Structure 1
Amino acid sequence: MCDVYAIKFSELVKIVERLRKECPWDRQQTNQSIKNNLIEEAYELYEALEEDNDQKIIEELGDCLLQVVFHCIIKNENGNFSLIDVIDNLIEKLIKRHPHVFGKKQLNTAQEVLSQWDSIKQKDKKSILEGIPKRMPSLFRAYKVQKRLSKVGLEFDDAINAETKIYEELSEFKKAKTTEQKKEELGDVLFSIVNFARFFDIDPEEALHISIDKIIKRFEYIEKKLNGNFGGVSKELLNKLWDESKNLT
């Protein structure tokens, strides 16, 4: 089986290397020009995983793997590092962060493993907030930042205090005069809502996705009722159809 993995992986690398030489589009790409592709492919994989569609998962995992290989080959061409460097670094990290598997330490629960992982990971960082990507979706980023801060005691005592903070920030938003001030205060409102969600173990990113999907479903009902023709439709009819659509969810 290991030989099959090695052969297939080698085949993939050779194909991408050939594309870099012979395909005009692939040849002109840089790490910067294709960086957004990985995000798009990751979201497509996430969707396939949610659907638990094996064929789509196979395809999207392949697309994500392609991005990894593509980035490594470009870097290797420029003399920075190779795919082997990436694999070696990953192997070293996995062994280091699993002393209960590759060493003599004994752990019995998944929570113990997570605590150990965080502890080992933090030793390599200068700040407890280091390693949270700036380009991560904002709600998810806020969630991660708050979880890190809670580990050192920067946390509300309970959900009631977290809820009160939301209204405090809303009050600040209402007092804001300029667009920039309103933007900043609205950000504080959203940050407070994320904090509130954490007390109920709710992922705010996931919660918002559910709401968006619900709104889309309701709109599609209205669109179907009107045959896609919104010209001249009264506000009253739209509201009536919207109320009807709520019965769908």
Structure 2
Amino acid sequence: MKSEQNNKNAETLTALQELIEVVAKLRDPDGGCPWDLVQTPQSLTQYVIEEAYEVVDAIKSEDKSHIAEELGDLLLQVVLQAQIFQEYGDFSLKEVVEGISQKLIRRHPHVFGDVSVQNADEVNQNWEQIKAAEKGETPSNNQLTEKLSGYTRKLPPLTATMKISRKAAAAGFEWEDIDGVWEKFHEELQEFEQALASETPERQEAELGDLLFTIVQIARWKNLDPSEALQGTNRRFIRRLKIMESVADRPLSDYSLPDLEILWQKAKAILSS
């Protein structure tokens, strides 16, 4: 069994080496691809994000070949970024791979060392402690806010809000029960309505943000994923529109609002049948 695994590992390394060589050729000033040659780490960031989302979407589809394809596209972004930084003389894919391997070893002392853990929660606690030590962090009055600020810089807004909410709750900034969250929701909804009626666009946007933040708190209390919930709504909305287009005898823009509502209800009925 071990010999078989070693053979598979060797085949994987051979395939990875081929990808590295292909990317290097694409970036070769002598005969490379004009598009690849003008790319920079900054210009490629949008593709890193897009490919990551496409991997997630493929995993949800449970189509194995599609998952493998999208993982390949994401891996390409890693190899291409490393290739460009190697050309700059900064680091190569070697440093990237060595770095993540050493990080995994350091942060899993219960696997690679003599530390004992009882469950996944203890693994997470050790991970956070080791991560803080690696960064030279020590407890301080603003350590929590520094971490929360990092979420706002690095994560999509809904994901960042959920992270901020969980960390703040763990630090004691929490309602006693969900009734308090609902009270806050109705308070923020009223303030948003008032802002829409009589305040500036800046205040309206601020109150909308407060309302959305509170909705995420409700989701956290109910163990719901707000990002997944919104994605699901987006998908359902598109599916309904597609059915409306399929049963319509002219462009949807030619229909009156009451007629569109009739088509919308037909689409809902078809999807629920």
Shorter-normalised TM-score: what interval? over 0.9
Identity value in percent: 38
Aligned residues: 249
- Alpha-carbon contact 2:58-2:70 (below 8 Å) kept: yes
1:219 paired with 2:241, answer yes
Q: Normalising by structure 2, report the TM-score.
A: 0.85
How far, CA to CA, are the matches of 1:188 and 1:110 in structure 2?
33
1:7 paired with 2:14, answer yes
Alpha-carbon deviations, 1:157-190, whole Å to 9, x = none?
2221112111111222233300011011101100
How far, CA to CA, are the matches of 1:143 and 1:163 in structure 2?
17
Could you say which structure has the greater relative contact order, defined with CA pairs below 8 angstroms and 6 or more residues apart? 1
For 1:68-217, what aligned pairs fall within 5 Å after superposition?
A: 68-125=78-135, 126=137, 127-128=143-144, 129=147, 131-132=150-151, 134-176=153-195, 177-217=199-239
What is the CA-CA distance between 1:228 and the residue it aligns to? 4.5
What is the CA-CA distance between 1:137 and the residue it aligns to? 1.9
User: Which of these residues, 27, 45, 52, is aligned with residue 20 of structure 1?
Assistant: 27
- When structure 1 is superposed on structure 2, of 189-198 and 161-170 the one drifting more is 161-170
- 3-state DSSP class of the match of 1:132? helix
- 3-state DSSP class of the match of 1:111? helix
Corresponding letter in the other structure for 2:12? Y
- 3-state DSSP class of the match of 1:161? helix
Unaligned ranges ≥5, structure 2: 1-6, 138-142
Q: Normalising by structure 1, report the TM-score.
A: 0.93
The corresponding residue for 2:40 is 30
1:230 paired with 2:252, answer yes
Corresponding letter in the other structure for 1:217? R
- When structure 1 is superposed on structure 2, of 132-141 and 188-197 the one drifting more is 132-141
- 3-state DSSP class of the match of 1:165? helix
Alpha-carbon deviations, 1:24-78, whole Å to 9, x = none?
1111111011110111111111111001111111111111111001001111111
Alpha-carbon deviations, 1:109-131, whole Å to 9, x = none?
22322232233223445534265
1:59 paired with 2:69, answer yes
- 3-state DSSP class of the match of 2:116? coil
Unaligned ranges ≥5, structure 1: none
- 3-state DSSP class of the match of 1:61? helix
What is the CA-CA distance between 1:235 and the residue it aligns to? 2.2
- When structure 1 is superposed on structure 2, of 208-217 and 52-61 the one drifting more is 208-217
Over 3 Å counting, the alpha-carbon distance change for 1:155 and 1:233 in structure 2 is: same
- Alpha-carbon contact 2:252-2:260 (below 8 Å) kept: no
Find runs of 4+ consecutive structure 1 residues off by over 6 angstroms: none
Over 3 Å counting, the alpha-carbon distance change for 1:123 and 1:228 in structure 2 is: farther
Corresponding letter in the other structure for 1:164? E
- When structure 1 is superposed on structure 2, of 112-121 and 173-182 the one drifting more is 112-121
Corresponding letter in the other structure for 1:15? V
Corresponding letter in the other structure for 2:71? L
**C-alpha RMSD of the superposition:** 1.8
How far, CA to CA, are the matches of 2:166 and 2:128 in structure 1?
12
How far, CA to CA, are the matches of 2:99 and 2:249 in structure 1?
56
How far, CA to CA, are the matches of 2:49 and 2:19 in structure 1?
21
What is the CA-CA distance between 1:231 and the residue it aligns to? 4.9
How far, CA to CA, are the matches of 2:10 and 2:267 in structure 1?
56
Over 3 Å counting, the alpha-carbon distance change for 1:142 and 1:53 in structure 2 is: same
